[in-house]
């Protein structure tokens, strides 16, 4: 019996020892498992960190490249800017040169214009400076001017009207003359006495038209004297009515002036006079 008891105890103690051993083993296994878990976690974190490092390295490289690109761009812009500055200077130089050339060219144009102007002045009015006389002369019908040239006539601006052949009536402001002795044909304008240059120029050329055909005064023509008497009372002139209608000679000259200035008015008030002047101009050959 004692032996059985002893055996039971031995068995119990053996079981106890085995259990204690097992417990120890389990603890060890648990520790190892924890260790493995810890290591795994560490590996995981390490991998993630490695990934982050790679990503950041890539980003860093990209930023580096971007920086280099920007630096290149900046340098390029700087170069361009320098080139533009140089171009600007070159262009300004060219502009300056062109401006000088333009100025020179303008001077040449002005000179050429002056030369042309001098060349274009007909000899018959070369002595005349008054713009109104020149303008009125230029307005004359071309065949009236031709008649003037054919007679070798010249216009003169004078202080005092003179003549070797004619007595100059008092108050004469302009005078058309064909000097029989010398054959000199001229119209003199008393520059101090004239108020209406346009009318006076046309009036004097009216005298030229009147005597133009081989120096036969048309105003002495029977037909014209008839017209003069018929229409002088209806005649309208903005110059000097009494003077203009005093003789058929002055009436003819003045009617030409009115024909030049206001043909419609002349036609309306004195139709026969208008017709006569109109035909005279058209009959000049």
Site residues (CB under 5 A) for Zn ion, limited to 175-214 = none
**Nearest of 134, 184, 183, 141 to residue 157 by alpha carbon:** 134
Q: How far is CA 268 from CA 74, 94, 103, 172, 231, in A?
A: 87, 66, 55, 30, 11
Secondary element (H or E) of residue 184: strand 184-190
Whole-number minimum distance, CB 207 to Zn ion, in Å? 6
Whole-number minimum distance, CB 266 to Zn ion, in Å? 17
Which residue lies nearer to Zn ion by CB, 153 or 253?
253
Which residue lies nearer to Zn ion by CB, 94 or 155?
155
Tell me what percent of the chain is helix, strand and coil, each rounded to the nearest 5: 75, 5, 20
Ranges of H-type helices in 128-270: 131-139, 142-150, 197-211, 222-231, 241-244, 248-261, 263-269
* Residue 227 lies near Zn ion (rule: CB under 5 A): no
Which residue lies nearer to Zn ion by CB, 3 or 167?
167
Query: Which residue of this chain has its Cβ atom nearest to Zn ion in the complex?
Result: 253
Whole-number minimum distance, CB 105 to Zn ion, in Å? 49
* Residue 133 lies near Zn ion (rule: CB under 5 A): no
Residue 157, strand partner residues: 189
Site residues (CB under 5 A) for Zn ion, limited to 242-271 = 250, 253
Whole-number minimum distance, CB 256 to Zn ion, in Å? 10
Which residue lies nearer to Zn ion by CB, 154 or 248?
248
User: Pattern 95-114, binding to Zn ion, x per CB under 5 A?
Assistant: --------------------
Give the C-alpha separation, 7 to 3, whole Å.
Answer: 6
Whole-number minimum distance, CB 206 to Zn ion, in Å? 7
DSSP 3-state assignment of 179? Answer: strand
Whole-number minimum distance, CB 199 to Zn ion, in Å? 11
Ranges of H-type helices in the chain: 2-120, 131-139, 142-150, 197-211, 222-231, 241-244, 248-261, 263-269, 271-283
Site residues (CB under 5 A) for Zn ion, limited to 16-55 = none
Interface residue list for Zn ion (CB under 5 A): 250, 253
């Amino acid at each position: 019996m004692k032996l059985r008891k002893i055996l039971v105890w031995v068995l119990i103690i053996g079981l106890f020892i085995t259990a204690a051993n097992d417990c120890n083993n389990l603890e060890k296994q648990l520790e190892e498992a924890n260790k493995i878990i810890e290591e795994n976690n560490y590996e995981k974190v390490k991998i993630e960190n490695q990934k982050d490092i790679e990503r950041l390295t890539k980003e860093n490289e990209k930023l580096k490249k971007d920086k280099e690109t920007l630096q290149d761009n900046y340098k390029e812009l700087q170069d361009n800017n320098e080139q533009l500055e140089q171009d600007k200077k070159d262009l300004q130089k060219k502009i300056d040169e062109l401006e000088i050339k333009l100025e020179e060219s303008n001077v040449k144009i002005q000179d050429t214009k002056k030369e042309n102007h001098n060349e274009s002045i007909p000899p018959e009015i070369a002595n005349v400076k008054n713009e109104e006389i020149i303008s009125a002369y230029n307005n004359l019908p071309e065949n009236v001017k031709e008649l003037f040239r054919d007679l070798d006539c010249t216009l003169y601006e004078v202080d005092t009207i003179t003549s070797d052949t004619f007595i100059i009536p008092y108050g004469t402001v302009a005078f058309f003359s064909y000097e029989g002795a010398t054959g000199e044909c001229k119209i003199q304008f008393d520059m101090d006495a004239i108020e209406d240059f346009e009318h006076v120029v046309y009036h004097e050329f009216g005298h030229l038209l009147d005597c133009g055909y081989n120096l036969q005064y048309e105003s002495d023509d029977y037909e014209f004297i008839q017209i003069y008497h018929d229409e002088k009372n209806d005649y309208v002139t903005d110059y000097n009515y009494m003077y203009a209608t005093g003789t058929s000679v002055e009436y003819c000259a003045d009617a030409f002036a009115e024909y030049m200035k206001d043909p419609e008015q002349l036609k309306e008030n004195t139709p026969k006079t208008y017709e006569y002047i109109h035909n005279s101009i058209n009959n000049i050959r």
